[in-house]
A and B are shown apart, each in its own frame.
Chain A
Amino acid sequence: MSGQEQDITDNDVLAYADGQLDGDARDRVERHLTADPAATALVREWQRQNGLLEALYGPVARESVPERLQPQRLARLRKASDASSWRQLAAALALLALGTGSGWLAHGFLAGDRGMAEPLVAQAVEAHDLYSGDVLHPVEVKAEDSAHLQTWLSKRLDRKLSIPDLRSDGLNLVGGRLLPAAGGEPAALIMYEDDSGQHVSLYVVPTDDGGETALRYNNVDGLEAISWTDEDVHCALIGGLPRARLEAIAKAAYAQLI
């Protein structure tokens, strides 16, 4: 029996002190502790640390929650602001219907210009055109290495990215590549393909301004483009698909990317 207990490692002692073990695993460590005062002292020290940390931070969770942190209230506020942006959108559409002159004014509004949007889409479309047509090397890192793709792009863009899984929208990952954005900073291109061989590209550029925007729609030479800003990345989704389908894909990508 004692031979078996020599297998006890520092990690086992740690897991025991943290209450992570049960059944046989716990019994084994307990038997070990009776014969090893140093390990016993360590368990006591780790548990004392837990006690100190609980004493230090535990009381925060017993404070009453300020009103601004009540989810129900935040959800109501959000609903109200959504409703008002729909009203603005409706107003802009009405303007658009008035004629080309005022329609042009509305165009800027609808596109929600924030300076970056148009160049971003142009770059994304260029990259999409260049690489989706490349039969041999559309991507640098293929879907088979998607774990590597994720860590590599996250590292180069200095953002924690997840490669969106869009299979439920009928898109399989082809892979991705790194390329220079207009300002020379690194951008990522993540490419997907549907069963008919249609390519869809997700283009991602880091930004420091942060913030959030609604989805913006463009049509560039027959390609649909949907762009948005989420926290600290600008994104554009490009594909030759109907707008409604691309919109569903954009929402799925938005939900998963960061």
Chain B
Amino acid sequence: MGEILDEIADCVPALRRYARALTHNRDGADDLVQDCLERAIRKRSLWRPIGPIRPWLFRILLNLHRNELRHLRRNPTAAPLDEFTERLATPGSQFEHAALAETARAMERLPDEQREALLLVAVEGLDYRQAAEVLEIPVGTLMSRLGRARTALRQMTSENGRPVLKAIK
């Protein structure tokens, strides 16, 4: 169990990053990660999953997140206004604050399934096969979600106030 815990611990920074990017809410994201870890540790003591730990953890996190979204849809409360964009501090970034804030807002408007897919590939660095496994979809479906996410994101953002590119084809 000790080694496994070390392996899980190595994944925590990435899980926090993914959760924060999904929720744009610091405390909510960490709650999600904590639930995920508790669940993983509990399941781990009963059953050793086949295969690498990281995709397994992402899958648990994602399922918990989706349950939470479903619960929120059924029991709508005044969602705490997300402070992610306001807190955005990016010293030394090659991008301007405005461009990042705009991207953050655009990410919030993406459909859940597109955001989940894009973040796994673009931020978490999973290859297509791994990302498809985490999302439990075929690679072709993953790519079409990625394509739609990227196109939507491009349409919602601009460079110097102008659309960056005309769509090809």
Contacts and interface: CB of A to CB of B under 8 A. Distances in A.
Interface of A: 10-11, 14-15, 18, 20, 38-39, 41-42, 45-46, 49-63, 65-66, 68-72, 74-75, 78, 158, 160, 208, 210, 212, 231-232, 251-252, 254-256, 258
Contact of B13 (A20, A62, A68, A251): A62
A57 B20 contact: yes
5 contacts: A10-B147, A51-B95, A55-B100, A68-B34, A252-B47
B94 interface: yes
B57 to A, nearest CB: 10
B63 A61 contact: no
Contacts of A51: 94-95
A182 B109 CA distance: 39
A52 B99 contact: yes
Contacts of A49: 103, 122, 150, 153-154
Contacts of A69: 12, 16, 30, 33-34, 37
Contacts, number: 132
Interface of B: 1, 5, 8-9, 12-14, 16-17, 20-21, 30, 33-34, 37-38, 40-43, 46-47, 63-64, 66-67, 70-71, 74, 88, 90, 93-95, 99-100, 103-104, 107, 118-119, 121-123, 127-128, 143, 146-147, 150, 153-154, 164-165, 168-169
A15 B128 contact: yes
Contacts of B164: 45
Nearest to B11: A71
A68 B63 contact: no
A15 B144 CA distance: 11
Contact of B43 (A56, A61, A255): A255
Given A60-B17, A69-B12, A160-B66, A254 B94 contact: no
A20 B13 CA distance: 23
Contact of B168 (A38, A58, A72): A38
B6 to A, nearest CB: 8
A150 to B, nearest CB: 10
Given A52-B95, A255-B47, A72 B100 contact: no
A154 B150 CA distance: 29
B102 to A, nearest CB: 9
Given A14-B146, A231-B67, A252-B47, A71 B121 contact: no
B38 A15 contact: no
B5 A72 contact: yes
A211 B71 CA distance: 13
A61 B54 CA distance: 15
